[in-house]
Amino acid sequence: MSLISVNNLEKTYNEGETETKALCGVSFNVPEGEFVAVMGPSGSGKSTLLHILGFLDRQTKGSYLFDGKELSEYTDNEVAKVRNEKMGFIFQSFNLLARTSVLENVKLPLLYSTTPQSKWNGLAKKAIEQVGLSHRVNHLTSQLSGGEKQRVAIARALINEPKIIFADEPTGNLDSKSGSDVMEIIEKLNNQGHTIILITHETYTAQYAQRIITLRDGKIETDENVKNRRKGKDDFLK
């Protein structure tokens, strides 16, 4: 069974008199463990799609089954619970809490979970280790470089062992060296079994994925598997 099953998904924004169709009939499935990149120029609807897939927004029409259950059947509290337990988010602008340590930032999702507090530090340290920032545990986020910040955000995304991780332009604010580090970690997470949905407009980054979905004007233009998948730091630095 697919983890994500989208059928004829539509999203319309009403701003005053004008209706904007951000998504008009998108359908695809993502099986568990797959690494999918969603590409498209700005305004193509890729962010809207990610928001709906990530339970941050709801569709206007069509169906979206996550883990076998239709999104519209989830209550607001259940939506928050799914976001907390089954999903991890990585944003282009990191979205870390300022004036707060790396450890505290990574622990943030646990605050809203049912995980007993005695386990919080252990889990957080393990996640920080996975992104290779063990030497920075007690640093404030403002003391970190961009790449390090994004790795903190990744540690935060994976602390609750989510089924799926959504990455919205994770390398968009990074230099190519840091970008390749981040992509390497995301690839590693996929190898560990996490499903990944990556939004990007760089073909280069997208080629880390197994499959690329291209959107244009709210519709799927292409949906194909990647033939020469990029591995590790291979060629990133050119």
Nearest to 198 by CA among 213, 188, 184: 213
Least separation in angstroms between residue 109's CB and another protein is 4
C-alpha 102/C-alpha 137 separation (Å) is 5
Q: Report the site for another protein in 41-60 (rule: CB under 8 A).
A: 51, 54, 56-57
Q: With respect to another protein, which residue has the nearer C-beta, 70 or 78?
A: 78
User: What is the phi-psi region of residue 217: left when phi exceeds 0, alpha when psi lies from -120 to 50, beta otherwise?
Assistant: left
Binding segment for another protein among 20-28, 104-112, 131-139, 170-178 (CB under 8 A)?
A: 104-112
Least separation in angstroms between residue 51's CB and another protein is 5
Q: Which residues pair with 29 in a beta bridge?
A: 5
- Out of 156, 163, 194, 230, name the contact with another protein by CB under 8 A: 156
Q: Per rule CB under 8 A, is residue 84 in the interface with another protein? A: yes
Q: With respect to another protein, which residue has the nearer C-beta, 159 or 185?
A: 159
* E strand intervals along the chain: 2-15, 18-31, 35-39, 61-66, 69-70, 87-90, 164-168, 195-199, 211-216, 219-225
Strands 211-216 and 219-225: antiparallel
C-alpha 65/C-alpha 133 separation (Å) is 36
Q: With respect to another protein, which residue has the nearer C-beta, 159 or 209?
A: 159
Q: With respect to another protein, which residue has the nearer C-beta, 57 or 67?
A: 57
Least separation in angstroms between residue 12's CB and another protein is 15
CA angle 146/151/153 to nearest 5° reads: 95
- Out of 91, 115, 188, 223, name the contact with another protein by CB under 8 A: 91
Binding segment for another protein among 23-31, 74-82, 140-148, 170-178 (CB under 8 A)?
A: 74-82
